Chain A
Amino acid sequence: MFKAKVYITLKDSILDPQGTAVKKALESLEYKNIDELRIGKMVYIKINETDRQKAEAQLKNMCEKLLYNSVIENYTYELEG
């Protein structure tokens, strides 16, 4: 069994209006030192697989096919197990 966390974030070149709104909300709470705030997604997956290479290859495939959109997003992942 492998445990994976996939982090999906908007590319740096793309504005994140949701992140900007949350940053403003924090600033209104007197947190004036926030330089940047961007919101992404985290997908947690347990993979029933014994071979690490296979699990990792499958994880990458799933990201490419569905989990992230290469036009607007990047992804990174952590794989444990």
Chain B
Amino acid sequence: MIAILDYGSGNLRSAQRACESTGRTVVITRDFEIAMQADGLIVPGVGAYASCMAGLVAIQGDEIIRKRRELERPTMGICVGMQILFSQGSERSRDSAVLTPGVGLWPGEVSRLKADILPHMGWNSVETNPAGVLFAGVENESFYFVHSYAAKESVGQLTTWGTYGEKFVAAVEDGSLSATQFHPEKSGKAGLKLLKNWADSL
């Protein structure tokens, strides 16, 4: 069973249906035990870093993610759900920049991309590591990105890179913890294949 963590509004329906295409049963939940017991947990995320973290903490989602990591139970963050796995996020709210602590399982700061036009919105290709599991069969495909902030430091050898204005972390495979900055559930057949690769590894 795959659980999708529900800690705020947004389009969880597409994530659910896309995960169901892998053949697994999928539930959307904010229940601590269900999220802990799931074979795989998806942590989605839309909106601002700070509000995402606040929503996550409100349902003890940060604890769920940490505990699953300790128990080596697979978890996958998507978009801001990936960003909050890092130490902190900087965010420009109108004029001031604020730093928000993340769940902190990976070192590094999530900061604004240096690009003329933001958000980075649309389909972009990525530079994958052939030793990984997620991108098997979709190494040369494009994926759908929507974000203005990103992590820029490598997280081990299985870091997949994207480039928009500058190089940024597009995906990470770190043992039981995976994440994509792009939206696999919105990346057509390539995204569904990536989710299948993940689901088959559970």
Do A and B form a real pair?
A: no
